[in-house]
Amino acid sequence: MPGSATPASTSPSAGLPEVLAPLAADLEKVGDAYREILASASPESRDMVRHAARFNGKRLRPALSCVAARLAGSEVTEPVAIAAGIVELIHTATLVHDDILDHAEVRRKVATLNIRWGNHAAVLVGDILFSRAYRAAAYLEDPFASRYLSDVVGIVLEGEIHQDTVSHDPTIGEEEYREIIRGKTAALYEAALVVGAHYGGANEELKGRLGAFGHHLGMAFQIIDDRLDVTGDEATVGKSLGTDMSEGKMTLPLILWRDGSAPEGREAAVARIQEAWSSDDGAQELARELEASGALSRTDAAAQAEIDRALACLEGVPEAPERDLLGTIARFVVRRTL
């Protein structure tokens, strides 16, 4: 494994940069591939494209792709780095569009594209990023990324559309919520591992296990994201929070709180949720109630259960420092504050 620190030496309280330190050289290769894919942006779009590229700060997906390739017995070769860069670029494109849909103002501590350049430009920049990713996949000798990722992007979009169709519906249940986040978030986490494993030469079994790990990790990531939307500190998280409430999204903290209330109080709970969706005061009051009722702890427990499922998927993966690193990344995802 490149770099100095071995994954096993990473302390449980380490921040993400320390967790990913052993992958520094690999991540540099993915970063180079990502920048190369974007290099052909026109002078008119260059500043906006560069601005969007600042959104891929945590580099979790590229790290997962690199680890998957290494677990398949490969170095981070050019195709691995390009495939990882493509997944990250698709992720960036989705964030640019997501911020328009959510009327978000800040991401990664800087203004969103919709705020800085307006919705019109932001839609087009998201499309440029997506088209660059699509083009890079088409030029890979092995067409796997092109075929597989076109399906994945469809799943992400279906997840977003599903979310839209149930917006401001306080009756949706946990199953439906899980179906939405499976599409909008977990599919791309799964993809990060699958493409890394594939271009690293993994067999179908290893690809399947790593993909399943990515799915559960992505589920946990989004559950924590939805909890942070209620309780996070904007300065730490670095993006607009409270948008789930203002956009009428029925996320897991709300579902668990509603379902945890006594049957005779269910109607009142639904009314409180609707109130929170329409007023800032209502949202703040409900956030306090979610905390006091234990709904947020139950949300954390649901994320932890996904991490446990993710870790179980690693049981059949050969023991290696990289496997431990996946475990460390998984544990980071549930205790993250950003």
Pick from Mg ion, ligand FPP, none: which does 19 bind, CB < 5 to 8 A by kind? none
**Residue 158 interacting entry, from ligand FPP, Mg ion, none, C-beta within 5 to 8 Å by type:** none
Residue 16 or 90 with smaller CB distance to ligand FPP: 90
Report the distance separating Cα 150 and Cα 93, nearest Å: 14
CB of 252 to ligand FPP, least distance (A): 11
DSSP state for residue 251 in the 8-state scheme: -
314: CB partners within 8 A, 6+ apart: 209, 213, 323, 326, 327
Please check whether residue 47 is in contact with residue 113, taking contact to mean a CB–CB distance below 8 angstroms: no
Quickly list DSSP for 75-132.
---HHHHHHHHHHHHHHHHHHHHHHHHTT--EETTEE-HHHHH-HHHHHHHHHHHHHH
The number of residues that bind Mg ion (CB under 5 A) is 2
Distance in angstroms (rounded) separating the CA atoms of residues 90 and 134: 9
The contact mask relative to Mg ion for 42-81 (x = CB under 5 A, - = no) is ----------------------------------------
CA gap 264, 188 in Å, rounded: 40
**Closer Cβ to Mg ion, 93 or 195, answer by number:** 93
Here's the x/- map for Mg ion, 79-108, by CB under 5 A: it reads as: -------------------x---x------
Cβ distance to ligand FPP smaller for residue 198 or 239: 239
Name 107's bridge partners. Answer: 110
If binding is defined by CB under 5 A, does position 275 make contact with Mg ion? no
CB 106 within 8 A of CB 12: no
**Residue 253 touches which of Mg ion, ligand FPP, none (Cβ within 5-8 Å per kind):** none
Considering the complex, what minimum distance in angstroms separates the CB of residue 119 from ligand FPP?
Answer: 13
Q: How far is the CB of 238 from Mg ion (least distance, A)?
A: 13
Quickly tell me which residue has 């092109």 as its tokens.
Answer: 146
Question: What does 65 bind: ligand FPP, Mg ion, none (CB cut-off 5 to 8 Å by kind)?
Answer: none
Interaction site with ligand FPP (CB under 6 A): 90, 93-94, 97-98, 101-102, 104, 126, 130, 153, 156-157, 160, 184-185, 225, 229, 239
